Amino acid sequence: MPPSHAAPLTIIVPTRNEAANIAPLLNRLAAALGDAPFSVLFVDDSTDETAQIIAATAVTSPFPIHLIARPPAQHNGLSGAVVEGFRAAQGEWLCVMDADLQHPPEMIPVLLARAQEAGADVVVGSRKAGRWGPLGLSRKRALTSQALTLLARMWFPRLLKNVSDPLTGLFLVRRSAIDVEALRPDGFKILLEILIRCPGLRVSECHFDFAPRHEGDSKADFREGMRFFRHLVRLRATANQSFPRLILVAAGSVVLDTAVFLFLTSFTPYWLAAILAAELFIWLRFAVTEKWVLGGGHPVAGWPSWRRFWLRNQLSLLLVRLPLLALLVGVWQWPLWVAGLTAVLIEGGARYVVSEQWVFSRGGLTMWQSGLFRYDLHGLLRLESQVRLPELAWFETALPLPHVDVALRVDRLGTPSPQPGAITYDERLSRFGFGVAIMPGDYTEIVISPALAHAPYALYKSVLEPVLRWALTRRECALVYGSCVAEAGQAQLIVPAAERGKTEMALQKVLAGSHFLADDFVILAADGRVYAFPKPVTVTREVLRVLGPHLALSPGQRGRLWLQNLLYSQGGRQTGIQLSQRRWPAATFNIYLQRLLPPPKIAITRLLPQVEIDPSARLTAVYALAADGQTLTRLSAADAANWLHSRAQAAQGFPPYALLTEQLYQWHGMDGRAAEQRIIEEALSVIRDL
């Protein structure tokens, strides 16, 4: 047993015949972690000289190295070695990685930074993957890994929905968050064991490139695959104590449902017999599951209320069982018992698939990951998103971000799971409706429903803009409403009394030689500097009139813009807000409208290819634009502060914009509105020319 480890980070490396990899691994760990305090714990099952090399290296190593050399009688696979390392290690954070350098040591600081930013219990190093499986593996091994992932997700669709690669061997865990004694290791996949045996962990993940093996041979083979399958069955049977009873209820329901159906067909038409039998067992199945399987509680995540349970079963009866019976009995003349049993089985399978929602989920059961898009807002805020955000296209970067302030991901099942302290909005249409969960903090995570991911403009305006406004106030900046242009580094901010005229006024100034910063919102820092926020321009009829000969559009493009402007008018938004207040799913309607016909937005660089955008400038004047869209009045510092703050509050988007903004501004007892007002006042107080 190694001595206690004082370092806050312990790196646990299970080894088996990795003699040639020890020195390169330790050298790269030292380079990657630098002066950060850490220790390395090897748990060795080798039959070569690996243990001797580790022991010899530990004598001269600048960081602590410990070794557990297990005798053959104690060998119980990689997972068992990791659990033994968990028991021996004393660090606050435990990082598990392989010794073969396929897991880059340079990822460890990234995992640790993410854990601290996100307040996570587990940070998963997810292998970048395509549709065939992890990149960097042979086609055969990639497909094997993909198949095992698919199998695991089928059995645990909810517990694994937040992890794209539950079978990875590179991950970081908070030692106090896992119950080591609850783990029953078997085979290679210890992370899967942790995620299933220790539910409720807050999980984050970072993607990495899986490297070729440095030296030695892979330990994965067919025998390990079968061992994994047996372990998966054992996990399914023991991780949820109600699962065997659920299986028994399902099997009994199939047998009894078919028997009652056959009995009723002796004196009623087969379709009526099917309806009567189904209605009887809908009630009976719910009652038995509720009382006997669940004991009146709800330990099974997602177990529905009676109303939802009844509705789901009615739909499956009408859409699956009755049409199947009509085909099997009425057309193909199958025997009643065969047709009845077949219809019950297929209906039950369809009901399970729809209720678990894994067939239609984004990324589904596989490891395939959508693209990752990165946005750097002048170094003030950095975003990482699974959805491309056209409103932030000007800020998009291909470079890795030094850290992430806001992460946006798509829920695999459809309804974002609310975490403790989360701000949520859900129109209760699952993956087909508007759903969002926001976990605010220094690292803010936004989880959205798949339907919302297909409407990026609605996603930005209704969800992301409130988050940006709140997050910027924490960085002594305000996202203020108005258009902005600059000349010789001096910026003019134009704030309208009504939602008209500001874009046209800015474009007129740009055509006259000014530089562009924004046409809708601009970032104002407390020191009086404004930062460009060039979102795509909403192309109204007035904008077309201003640009005139500078813009070449076909009649078809102009007709499309006319229709878009009709749908996305101020009146249309007010109608949506009123519907939302009456608890109609107005936000869901909005995202489907945007999927059919996106808003009339075009990037300023496409409208005016010659435009010059200043990244930042010193604010020297604030103008109020009258409701006529023509008259400009220069404001004093005091009037400008009140005008900017009031207009920012009025320029709210489609629901749930106002709800999310209010809750974010009150997060942890803060007064976000007061902070925003203070930042604006400070910014204007340092402007001498105003």
Contacts of 225 by beta carbon, 8 Å cutoff, 6+ apart: 144, 148
C-alpha distances in angstroms, 391 versus 158, 269, 306, 387, 585?
32, 59, 42, 12, 24
Q: Which residue has the higher pLDDT, 334 or 209?
A: 334
Q: What is the pLDDT of residues 313-330, one digit of tens each?
A: 888 899 999 999 999 998
User: Mean pLDDT lowest for which of 5-9, 65-69, 255-259?
Assistant: 5-9
> What Rg, from alpha-carbon coordinates, does the chain have?
30
pLDDT at 596: 82
**First-to-last C-alpha distance (Å) of the chain:** 71
pLDDT at 616: 96
The closest of 32, 170, 202 to 100, measured between CA atoms, is 170
Rounded Cα distance, 654 and 587, in Å: 7
Rounded Cα distance, 690 and 684, in Å: 8
* Summary mean pLDDT of the chain: 83
Percent of the chain beyond pLDDT 90? 45
Strands 381-385 and 406-410: parallel
User: Mean pLDDT lowest for which of 70-79, 244-253, 298-307?
Assistant: 298-307
Tokens of 313: 């079963």
pLDDT at 6 over 80: no
Which of the four pLDDT bands, split at 50, 70 and 90, describes residue 196?
confident
Rounded Cα distance, 497 and 482, in Å: 10
Report the b/e string of 478-489 with b at 16+ CB within 10 A: bbbbbbbbbeee
pLDDT at 1 over 50: no
Q: How many CB atoms lie within 10 A of CB 544?
A: 18
The closest of 423, 427, 413, 425 to 444, measured between CA atoms, is 423
- Overall average pLDDT of the 273-299 stretch: 73
Beta bridge partners of 669: none
pLDDT at 527 over 90: yes
pLDDT at 158 over 50: yes
Which of the four pLDDT bands, split at 50, 70 and 90, describes residue 363?
very low
Contact 390, 456 (CB under 8 A): yes
C-alpha distances in angstroms, 656 versus 101, 433, 462, 674?
47, 13, 6, 21
Which of the four pLDDT bands, split at 50, 70 and 90, describes residue 366?
low
pLDDT at 222: 55
Distance of CA 82 to the CA centre of its chain: 29
User: Mean pLDDT lowest for which of 99-108, 231-240, 368-377, 676-685?
Assistant: 231-240
The closest of 547, 543, 562 to 502, measured between CA atoms, is 543
pLDDT at 96: 96
The CATH number given to 9-239 is 3.90.550.10
Q: How many CB atoms lie within 10 A of CB 82?
A: 24
Dmax (CA) for the chain in angstroms is: 94
Handedness of CA 25, 29, 30, 32 (dihedral sign): positive
Q: Which residue has the higher pLDDT, 221 or 673?
A: 673
358, burial (CB in 10 Å: exposed 0-12, middle 13-18, buried 19+) = buried
- Overall average pLDDT of the 303-308 stretch: 59
- Overall average pLDDT of the 7-21 stretch: 92
Q: What is the pLDDT of residues 571-604, one digit of tens each?
A: 555 565 566 566 678 888 888 888 888 888 889 9
Percent of the chain beyond pLDDT 70? 82
- Overall average pLDDT of the 345-371 stretch: 61
pLDDT at 361: 44
- Overall average pLDDT of the 262-279 stretch: 92
Delimit the CATH 3.90.550.10 region(s) of the chain: 9-239
Tokens of 596: 């059919």
The closest of 381, 435, 378 to 409, measured between CA atoms, is 435
Q: What is the pLDDT of residues 536-550, one digit of tens each?
A: 988 888 888 888 777
Q: What is the pLDDT of residues 413-471, one digit of tens each?
A: 666 766 667 899 988 787 788 999 999 988 999 999 888 999 999 999 999 999 999 99
Q: Which residue has the higher pLDDT, 32 or 246?
A: 32
DSSP letter string, 505-544? HHHHHHHTTPEEEESSEEEEETTSEEE---PPEE--HHHH
Which of the four pLDDT bands, split at 50, 70 and 90, describes residue 391?
very high
Tokens of 581: 């207040």
* Helical segments of 61-165, H only: 77-88, 107-118, 139-155
